[in-house]
């Protein structure tokens, strides 16, 4: 897809983060928009900002885990705009918990959004993208769709699944000679609210050496590598180039190289890092406790 002018794009998770940035960047390029998010107020705010840029915009509340609702949204989008050329299956959530203590309902919640939401969006819009004569599907995986990390088993499972699903889809579209292509996106640390809104189980302290609140704060610091606006621009460059995948951010590119060089041996490196971090956290807690005891004894 060489130009986005007068195309129509459907975006999930458009209320914040990369979804909002994609919507605004596309609006600047003259793309009309069908936006959705589970937070109705936030997606309405994104829609208003995009309309101010002079494009047609529709928006609605949508839970991508609800298959029939996604298909209904696709029908409504085409009815409102006349066509859809691009779909960005972007909505996602995160969960931090060791496998041994993970609850099935948390796994199901995450997979329904991160994986099944992508499947629903792809299948709902694919016929309309084909009918448009020039279509593109953009599915959001993750850096954690390239390597796995402790306490991220559910998130890893969903993002590896998105990767496999999208790569298979791309080959099917190539074999069919379809007027539709697709790209798998692997963002590294992108400054969004995904960590703030994530579910973090108390049991991760045994693996990380820190409590859930500290874990959330550190995770927010770690993802502050690439801005959502910069991520959106990188993704759209990938669409223009018909890239099979897009690595967003320098951290994603570094980790991809690491995984290629080390293969499965990267896991030993991650284990070493986690043990080192846990020991450092333990020493910090001990020092703080000793300082506190000294303070009390002198008072």
Q: Which of 128, 155, 266, 274 is catalytic?
A: 155
The structure tokens 């991220």 sit at: 152
Q: What is the token pair recorded at 40?
A: 């109705």
Quote the CA–CA distance of 118 and 11 in Å, as a whole number: 11
Q: Are 169 and 122 in contact (CB under 8 A)?
A: yes
Active site residue 266: no
Residues with a catalytic annotation lie at 155
């Amino acid at each position: 897809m060489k130009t986005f002018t007068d195309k129509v794009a459907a975006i999930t998770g458009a209320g914040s983060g990369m979804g909002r940035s994609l919507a605004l960047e596309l609006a600047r390029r003259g793309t009309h928009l069908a936006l959705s998010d589970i937070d109705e107020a936030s997606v309405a705010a994104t829609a208003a900002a995009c309309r101010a840029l002079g494009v047609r915009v529709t928006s609605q509340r949508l839970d991508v885990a609800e298959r029939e609702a996604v298909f209904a949204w696709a029908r409504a989008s085409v009815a409102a705009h006349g066509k859809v050329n691009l779909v960005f299956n972007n909505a996602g959530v995160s969960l931090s918990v060791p496998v041994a203590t993970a609850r099935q309902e948390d796994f199901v919640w995450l997979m329904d959004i991160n994986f099944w939401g992508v499947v629903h969006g792809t299948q709902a819009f694919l016929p309309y993208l084909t009918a448009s004569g020039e279509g593109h599907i953009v599915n959001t995986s993750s850096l954690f769709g390239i390597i796995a990390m402790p306490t991220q088993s559910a998130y890893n499972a969903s993002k590896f699944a998105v990767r496999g699903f999208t790569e298979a889809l791309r080959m099917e579209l190539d074999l069919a000679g379809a007027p539709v292509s697709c790209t798998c996106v692997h963002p590294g640390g992108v400054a969004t609210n995904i960590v703030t809104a994530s579910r973090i189980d108390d049991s991760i302290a045994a693996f990380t050496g820190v409590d859930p609140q500290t874990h959330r704060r550190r995770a927010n610091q770690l993802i502050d590598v690439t801005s959502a606006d910069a991520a959106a621009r990188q993704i759209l460059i990938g669409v223009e180039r018909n890239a099979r995948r897009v690595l967003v951010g320098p951290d994603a590119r570094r980790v991809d190289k690491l995984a290629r060089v080390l293969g499965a041996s990267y896991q030993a490196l991650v284990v070493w890092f986690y043990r080192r971090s846990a020991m450092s956290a333990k020493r910090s807690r001990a020092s703080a406790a000793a300082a506190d005891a000294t303070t009390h004894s002198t008072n």
